[in-house]
Structure 1
Amino acid sequence: MTEGLLFPGRSFAAFLFDMDGTVLTSIASAERVWSRWAARHGLDVAAFLPTIHGVRTVETIARLGLPGVDPQAEADAIMQAEMVDVADVDPIAGAARFLASLPPECWAIVTSAPRKLAECRLAAAGLPLPPLMIAAEDVAHGKPAPDCFRLAADTLGVSADACLVFEDAPAGIAAAEAADAAVVVITATHTKVVESRHPARANYENLAVLFEPDGRLTLMSVA
């Protein structure tokens, strides 16, 4: 039956997952750290906070063009603060079960977070380290550039257009689209509607994987 398939007639060589907002939520932690940083630099905190999600810290800081600010040094300091503040980092509902159902050679996490911070947040959320992680330092250009998803696909030995990307943020969705990957939008942490042409699900509780005879993956919505 096709009514339970999110992409009828299509299967995938691999699933690629963003981390923050997609398999876990770290919004409260990140926004506490960034709020203090923004206030110290005289920024409008409320206006600034929505710009931090889904992109690399160093690029967020660099595009501000603040005089006398070293983006890499500030990014390193923010990372250290975020690694300390993980008390309320939690998994997205159903994520642990869903990830555990996947063969290790068929999935990866592709995050804008530095590797050390990503590993810290996954541990805080009670999620295992993935078989493959592409982190901020692995690419020259972060999301919305497609480099990270292309690198993940290449490392898994598949093409990016054969992958399904799970994302939550506009920058990540744009990166997946630029890589010619299919996209599912996870909306668990959304406070407003993100306009997108892609299927959306609140979490993983009603998602399952059908394994095709050739080893490819089909995403199903289950009751």
Structure 2
Amino acid sequence: MTHTPFPDRRFAACLFDMDGTLLTSILAAERVWAAWARRHGLDVDTFLPTIHGVRCEDTVRRQNLPGIDVAAEVAWVTEAEITDTEGVAPIPGAPAFLASLHPDRWAVVTSASRALATVRLAAAGLPVPAVMVTAEDVERGKPAPDGYQLAARRLGVAAEDCLVFEDAPAGIAAGEAAGAAVLVITATHSHPVASSHPVVADYQGLQIPLR
């Protein structure tokens, strides 16, 4: 069975978030961040829901921890996440869906570092795209639109003509701010999602008309 969430539109390109959208890395990410939180005396259960969809640097800074070296903390978390890929897997249907797209018509826009994004895509058996915007490429991370706008420019299209695939509130807000259409992927969600955007569980049977 196929389904087309935007039957009346054709898009110039598809812009994908990575974690929670193309692949699941929740178990690995939460293992690392839980260890980091315990090191700094944070309440793990309260802290973990705040890490998804935003840059590592932004998460560290938000804690307002006295006397820390932000760059060193980011390096610690990044190295730990690169090392821990157990449980990283593709969202159902994602490999075939990406394979159906022309390489010049899609990009990844992630809050992860380039090194981490490359490792996680490989662990999930997904290709590294020709255009990949990572944490190092923008001054403002999600929910700012910078990453999606930059990816569209690198593909030679307008962000307003793109479809953004997202799972997290910060990323959804970034896609909206970029002027793009947004499709919400819920494969990794544990609770129902209330969204003004079309919502699909995964990529199985998904059809997105491109120009």
Letter in 2 for 1:159: A
Identity of aligned residues (%): 62
**Residues 188 and 202 in structure 1, CA contact (< 8 A), matched pair in contact too:** yes
What are structure 1's unaligned runs of at least 5 residues?
Answer: 217-223
Deviation at 1:77, TM superposition (A): 0.9
Counterparts in 2 of 1:24-173, with a 5 A limit?
24-173=23-172
| Alignment RMSD (CA, Å) | 1.2
Identify the range of structure 1 (186-195 vs 157-166) with the bigger mean alpha-carbon deviation. Answer: 186-195
CA offsets, 1:66-98, max 9 Å, x none?
001122211111010011110210000000000
CA offsets, 1:37-70, max 9 Å, x none?
1011010100000000000000011011100112
**Residues 108 and 132 in structure 1, CA contact (< 8 A), matched pair in contact too:** yes
Give TM-score, length-normalised by structure 2. 0.97
Determine the C-alpha separation between the residues in 2 that align with 1:40 and 1:210. Answer: 48
1:165 aligned counterpart, secondary structure = strand
Structure of higher RCO (CA pairs closer than 8 Å, 6+ residues apart): 2
2:49 aligned counterpart, secondary structure = helix
Determine the C-alpha separation between the residues in 2 that align with 1:115 and 1:89. Answer: 16
Give TM-score, length-normalised by structure 1. 0.92
Deviation at 1:4, TM superposition (A): 4.6
Identify the range of structure 1 (3-12 vs 74-83) with the bigger mean alpha-carbon deviation. Answer: 3-12
User: How many residues were matched structurally?
Assistant: 210
What are structure 2's unaligned runs of at least 5 residues?
Answer: none
Determine the C-alpha separation between the residues in 2 that align with 1:6 and 1:56. Answer: 29
**Residues 170 and 194 in structure 1, CA contact (< 8 A), matched pair in contact too:** no
Determine the C-alpha separation between the residues in 1 that align with 2:108 and 2:3. Answer: 25
Provide closer, same or farther for how the CA distance between residues 4 and 45 of structure 1 changes in structure 2, counting only shifts above 3 A. closer
**Residues 165 and 182 in structure 1, CA contact (< 8 A), matched pair in contact too:** yes
Determine the C-alpha separation between the residues in 1 that align with 2:81 and 2:4. Answer: 38
Identify the range of structure 1 (190-199 vs 76-85) with the bigger mean alpha-carbon deviation. Answer: 190-199
Match of 1:199 in 2: 198
4+ residue segments displaced more than 6 Å:
none
